[in-house]
């Protein structure tokens, strides 16, 4: 599932340029008109901070979880752009488990791929509706989704 809120490189650069131009223009007015040179320093620091935030957001937008079901294996690949960790399960024993988060009133859940006594949380970055759609799709492919109280499996 692709996020609809992705800001690409051109959009990030445009946002940084517009905010930067406004901040620097205002800072230059204060510096030239009233001699308040610290305003210019803080405007530059603000631009550096904004650039770092935009770079962090671009990195986070590259995070992927890919579930491959091939023959008798279920493979979970995670990483930024390319797989950095891979977990394999036996398809026959693999189940999807949905657990309620404490304090969520049953409306906030976690989704797990489990096999015997081990499991991995999947879809943590998805909205509740997207997580429900993923659970329904995995139910079709792997069998019924189990609803359980909050459990934690070691990764």
Tell me, yes or no, whether 49 and 99 share the same domain: no
Edge-to-edge strand list for the sheet holding 109-115: 118-122, 109-115, 94-100, 145-148
**Assigned token pair, 53:** 């935030």
Tell me, yes or no, whether 78 and 141 share the same domain: yes
Residue 70 lies in a domain: yes
**pLDDT tens per residue across span 125-137:** 899 999 999 999 9
Tell me, yes or no, whether 74 and 130 share the same domain: yes
Q: Which residues of the chain carry a pLDDT beneath 50?
A: 1, 3, 154-155
Burial 121-137 (b: 16+ CB within 10 A, else e): bbbeebeeeebbebbee
**Assigned token pair, 29:** 């007015």
Residue 2 lies in a domain: no
Query: What pLDDT does 154 receive?
Result: 46
Query: What pLDDT does 149 receive?
Result: 67
Tell me, yes or no, whether 68 and 111 share the same domain: yes
Tell me, yes or no, whether 68 and 144 share the same domain: yes
**Assigned token pair, 82:** 């390319």
Query: What pLDDT does 139 receive?
Result: 93
Residue 83's domain comprises 64-148
What is the count of structural domains for the chain?
Answer: 2
Query: What pLDDT does 1 receive?
Result: 45
Tell me, yes or no, whether 55 and 97 share the same domain: no
Tell me, yes or no, whether 40 and 86 share the same domain: no
Q: Residue 118, CB half-sphere, CA atoms under 13 Å: how many?
A: 6
**Which residue shows structure tokens 């999807």?**
96
Tell me, yes or no, whether 81 and 121 share the same domain: yes
Query: What pLDDT does 5 receive?
Result: 55
Residue 3 lies in a domain: no
Tell me, yes or no, whether 90 and 144 share the same domain: yes
Residue 1 lies in a domain: no
- Reference 111, options 89, 129, 84; nearest CA is 129
Tell me, yes or no, whether 85 and 137 share the same domain: yes
Tell me, yes or no, whether 69 and 131 share the same domain: yes
Residue 153 CB contacts under 8 Å (≥ 6 apart), including other chains: 112, 114, 117, 118, 119, 120
């Amino acid at each position: 599932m692709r996020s609809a809120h992705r800001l690409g490189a051109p959009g990030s650069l445009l946002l940084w340029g517009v905010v930067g131009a406004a901040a620097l223009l205002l800072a230059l007015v204060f510096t030239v008109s009233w001699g308040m040179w610290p305003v210019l320093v803080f405007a530059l620091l603000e631009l550096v901070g904004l650039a770092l935030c935009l770079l962090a957001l671009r990195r986070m937008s590259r995070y992927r979880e890919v579930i491959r079901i091939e023959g008798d294996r279920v493979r979970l690949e995670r990483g930024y752009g390319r797989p950095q960790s891979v977990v394999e399960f036996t398809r026959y024993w693999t189940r999807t488990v949905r657990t309620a988060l404490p304090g969520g009133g049953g409306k906030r859940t976690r989704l797990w791929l489990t096999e015997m006594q081990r499991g991995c949380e999947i879809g943590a970055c998805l909205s509740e509706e997207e997580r429900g759609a993923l659970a329904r799709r995995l139910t079709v492919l792997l069998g019924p989704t189990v609803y359980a109280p909050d459990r934690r499996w070691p990764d």
